[in-house]
Chain A
Amino acid sequence: MLNYIFRRIGYMLVTLAIISVVGYLIVELPPGSYVEFEIQRLRQQGGNLSQDQITALELRYGLNDPIYVRFWKWISGFVRGDFGESFQYRQEVKDLIGQRLMFTISISIFSLLLAWGIAVPLGVYSATHRYTLPDYIITVLQFLGLSIPSFLVALVLMVFAQRTLGQQVGGLFSDQYQTAPWSVAKFIDLLAHLWIPIVVIAFGSTAGLSRIMRANLLDVLGMQYVQTARSKGLTENVVIWKHAVRNAMHPLIMILGGSLPGIISGETVLAIVMNIPTVGPMYFTAQLNQDLYLAASFLMFLSILGVLGNLLADIALAWVDPRIRYE
């Protein structure tokens, strides 16, 4: 098992190395750079940049170095925790993205937990009650869930929260907590703001996940070893949850590994609609403005998240399925 995990971590590092090279190239690829752009802008404003100043800027950002030197400077700084400075914001990238990353991660994790917490029992229920009225109702709801776009759900929930619950929607904190230090009350206020995006993101995946759960469990329930479990005299609950569900989880776990990037991009749209400071919108503008270090750092962090998600899924898969553990 340990062997298996180490091997996976090895793959993960190789993947990240490749992503860092390709990602950096892509961000750098368009002609021009933020510095040239900036120099031009300052000139147009009538500010007179001396050649010295320009050289200082160029030197500082190493514009005259060959690309591999610049890449090396960036990546070696990155692993040491020095992510560079954003041209646009004139701030350390570190200070810009820290909190956003945290919100993104917590929204993702909470919505995944919510989606799984609903999808798995729902799928199990409808598989074990196939062709009964509740199963038909669940099926109809699932198809509705699959076909309603998430921004629409977001709008409906926002109106509902504001009109009916009298909540302040959008943003992360109510005004009085905006600058307050962290406390239990502030955390609760945060949750009150975050529940809408969490529900909206979970909504989109719950329907699909529970369909998959239902289909897989139906397959597994037809397996001989389920009858073997019954033949021991186990209760039906133990037969279903211990012997059948565990073997029906593989596809769900595999989906889990790949779902983080999807959640983050889905979140971007939602975050723009709801004005929540997650990484999505900032990453988007950073790419637009060729804000090199900011964009590249985002890319790296999102990749790390995605790859970590896959690693966790691989470990979970090995835990449920001994055949993978020893492969």
Chain B
Amino acid sequence: MNQTISSTSDKAASILEGEDIILKVRDLHTYFYTDIGVARALNGVNFDIPRGKVMGMVGESGCGKSVTALSIMRMVTKPGRIVQGDIALFRKKKGGENDKSQIIEEINLTKLEGMGPVMRSIRGAEMSMIFQEPMTSLNPSYTIGDQIMEAILLHQGVDKVEAEKRAINILDGVGMANPALVVKRYPHELSGGMRQRAMISLALSCTPSILFADEPTTALDVTTEAQILDLMRDLQGRINMTIIFITHNLGVVAQMCDYVTVMYLGRVVEQATVDDTFYNPKHPYTSSLLRSIPHVGSRQKERLMPIRGVVPDPYSAIKGCPFHPRCSQVMRGKCDAQVPGLTVVGKSHTVRCFLYSDTVEEASNVR
């Protein structure tokens, strides 16, 4: 079980200074082999996730945020497949009862069978996910209680009575009114906000160390959204959970996150602290993303700037930097020829852009 991460890990020892890294993703490629061609959803994703922090993940629709989360959870199903890359999970193993020391064990998730026993014991227990659509992410045929208890019974070796008690406790903890009644309810009897709270309870039922929250509040009204964000922040602080927070809402990023990863067309183009992302963005894509949203204090006359062009489809490979066809600072002969490599531009701040260095990404050996 103790596979060490392949040679790629040395190349990019963590650039997040002073952080204890819990997840290291290197050169991750996930493709979907569909009828109309191969969709290259992830094209060499690299990033580190610091333990106990909230990492925001932003980027236009279709850039591969959800697929990244699903790949790490090893839940990409046919016709999709991880074709290359390493995902290292650094899990803390408690010593004995009295032993306060913690051993950190490294597991390469890509080497595990996606549906195999080791991965299944990690999924739901140490890593879990809140999905994009609260209305459809619960099974209509089972009660809320049954669905939450299923994970508890699977991972925590307790009996039904205890599992139900825990389920009610968790629901109570996420601010669900009347939790003892709600466990007996079916999803269609709950409102969208209640369902999302139920989904959060399900994801938190085994106190995971990593939580992927895929646009957890998009479908909700502003008040409910604020409550749920508060709740997540609160829980995160209490159990020192690591959250990967996927969203389109940069306001929410500013409010929730410690770090931000910016993705474009299946790659990470910039990773930085939340302050650097907003006040010192390096990549032209990050800058235009920031300019495309309204922000508090912006003058009425100031026009929003949509990013010109559209996201290219993931079926056709683009030569050079994936953003160059839409980039306002494109350098002909350079950006359209080679893929920029990872450049450290500041404390915990990396970017892939030829404006900052000439490092070239070494050719990937994936067809």
Contact = CB atoms under 8 A, between A and B. Distances in A.
Tell me if chain B binds chain A: yes
Most buried by B among A227, A229, A246, A326: A227
A231 B123 contact: yes
Given A246-B141, A322-B188, A323-B186, A230 B75 contact: yes
B150 A234 contact: yes
A225 B142 CA distance: 11
A228 B140 contact: no
Interface residues of A, number: 22
A287 interface: no
A246 B146 CA distance: 15
Given A224-B131, A228-B131, A233 B140 contact: no
B137 interface: yes
B131 A230 contact: no
Interface string A242-256: 010011000000000
Determine the main DSSP class of A at the interface with B: helix
Interface stretch (B114-122, B237-245, B289-297, B309-317): B114-122
Contacts of A230: 75, 77, 123
Contacts of B140: 225, 247, 321-323
A152 B151 CA distance: 52
Contacts of A224: 131-133, 136-137
Contacts of A27: none
A165 B70 CA distance: 56
Interface in B195-231: 199, 202-203
Contacts of B150: 232, 234
B125 interface: yes
Contacts of A246: 141
B154 interface: yes
Contact of A225 (B122, B137, B151, B203): B137
Contacts of A130: 78
Contacts of B124: 231-234
A236 interface: yes
A323 B139 contact: no
B55 interface: no
B186 A231 contact: no
B129 interface: yes
B137 A228 contact: yes
A144 interface: no
A235 B115 contact: yes
Nearest to B33: A131
A228 B203 CA distance: 9
Interface in A278-296: none
A233 B75 contact: no
Nearest to B186: A322
A21 interface: no
Contacts of A14: none
A26 to B, nearest CB: 42
B30 interface: no
Contacts of B188: 322-323
B36 to A, nearest CB: 14
A9 interface: no
A1 interface: no
Contacts of A247: 139-141
A322 B147 CA distance: 14
A56 interface: no
Contacts of A223: 136
A223 B151 CA distance: 19
A272 B133 CA distance: 56
B108 interface: no
Interface string B127-170: 01101110011111101000100110011000000000000000
Contacts of B129: 231
B158 to A, nearest CB: 15
Contacts of B107: none
16 contacts: A224-B137, A225-B138, A227-B70, A227-B75, A227-B131, A227-B137, A228-B139, A228-B199, A231-B128, A231-B203, A233-B120, A233-B121, A233-B125, A234-B120, A235-B120, A247-B140
A-B pairs with lowest CB-CB distance, top 9: A233-B124, A232-B124, A233-B123, A232-B151, A233-B120, A224-B136, A225-B139, A322-B186, A224-B137
Interface of A: 130, 223-225, 227-236, 243, 246-247, 320-323, 326
Interface of B: 70, 73, 75, 77-78, 115, 120-125, 128-129, 131-133, 136-141, 143, 147, 150-151, 154-155, 186, 188-189, 199, 202-203
